């Protein structure tokens, strides 16, 4: 099963987060679904610093849904090629919108097919798997902070905006898509997807406690969201739990 809770941030009327589960797009709501035999399960966090974040996340998840439905081949090469096509289409779409040419979104999630599972990631949304009651982060945050750390500029990394991303769909520049990560995914029992409105305010230790608790998956999602809000998160919040019964 898949459990979803996604909310607009405190004081916001419009959420820029979108969750895609197969043919279902979820925004500012809670839901649960069976795992699709074929399709995407992902979180897209529209970039709030750029006008058009909600439009960007909506555009990308709808394009992903259409791709999974209409393409027979879901090899890594075919998926990579089509994601680049979606990015090009988003860039063109942004150029047609007045003042929104830099509209952008992150994306993190899983593509399920009959024979393969792929982890797809760009930006600072996250995927974790549960291993013996601990969380292992599978994704790397594409942020200015991490880039500065990789260059050995630790003081600057500590002082910069931790949420500023270096890679995304859109953003008005095709080079921002070059860090797209697509990898084959091993069997797993439980995966957790979060947007930064969640994991910037709920520690890994706290997430592990929620994930280890003996409550239904939908309650875990709700409590994680509530914890982030209580900790002061004003960003949009998305939590997805995938229980695959594998691994």
d(CA 153, CA 157): 6
Continuous segment of H or E residues that includes residue 182: strand 181-184
Tell whether domain 2-243 is in CATH 3.60.40.10.
yes
Q: What percent of the chain has pLDDT over 70?
A: 90
The answer to whether residue 161 scores a pLDDT higher than 90 is no
Pairwise CA distance, residues 71 & 222, whole Å: 34
Which pLDDT band, with edges at 50, 70 and 90, does 7 fall under?
A: very high
Q: What is 55-115 written as a DSSP string?
A: HHHHHHHHHHHHHHHH-S---HHHHHHHHHHHHHHHHHHHHTSTT-TT-EE-EEEEEE-SS
Question: Is this model's pTM higher than 0.95 or not?
Answer: no
Question: What pLDDT digit, counting tens, does each position of 32-86 carry?
Answer: 999 998 899 999 999 976 678 999 999 999 999 988 777 777 888 999 999 999 9
Domain ranges of the chain: 2-243
Q: What is the pLDDT of residue 157?
A: 57
Enumerate long-range contacts of 218-226, CB under 8 Å, 24 or more apart: 218/3, 218/5, 218/30, 218/32, 220/3, 221/3, 221/4, 221/5, 221/30, 222/5, 222/30, 224/5, 224/194, 224/198, 225/5, 225/6, 225/7, 225/198
- Whether residue 147 is predicted with pLDDT greater than 70 in this model: the reply is no
Containing 238, the helix (H) or strand (E) segment is strand 237-243
């Amino acid at each position: 099963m898949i459990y979803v809770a996604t909310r607009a941030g405190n004081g916001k009327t419009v959420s820029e987060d979108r969750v895609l589960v197969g043919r279902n797009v979820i925004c500012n709501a809670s839901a649960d679904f069976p795992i699709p035999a074929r399709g995407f399960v992902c979180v897209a966090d529209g970039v709030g610093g750029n006008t058009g974040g909600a439009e960007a996340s909506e555009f990308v998840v709808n394009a992903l849904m259409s791709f999974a439905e209409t393409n027979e081949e879901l090899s890594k090469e075919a998926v990579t090629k089509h994601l680049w096509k979606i990015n090009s289409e988003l860039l063109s779409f942004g150029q047609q919108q007045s003042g929104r040419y830099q509209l952008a979104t992150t994306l993190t999630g899983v593509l399920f097919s009959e024979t393969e599972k792929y982890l797809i990631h760009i930006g600072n949304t996250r995927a974790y798997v549960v291993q013996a009651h601990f969380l292992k982060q599978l994704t790397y945050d594409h942020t200015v902070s991490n880039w500065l750390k990789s260059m050995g500029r630790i003081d600057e990394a500590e002082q910069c905006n931790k949420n500023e991303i270096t890679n995304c769909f859109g953003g008005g520049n095709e080079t921002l898509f070059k860090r797209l990560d697509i990898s084959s995914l091993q069997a797993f029992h439980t995966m957790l997807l979060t947007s930064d409105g969640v994991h910037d305010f709920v520690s890994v230790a706290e997430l592990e406690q929620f994930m280890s608790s003996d409550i239904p998956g939908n309650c875990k999602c709700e409590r994680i969201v509530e914890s982030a809000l209580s900790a002061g998160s004003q960003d949009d919040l998305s939590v997805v739990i995938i229980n695959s019964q594998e691994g």
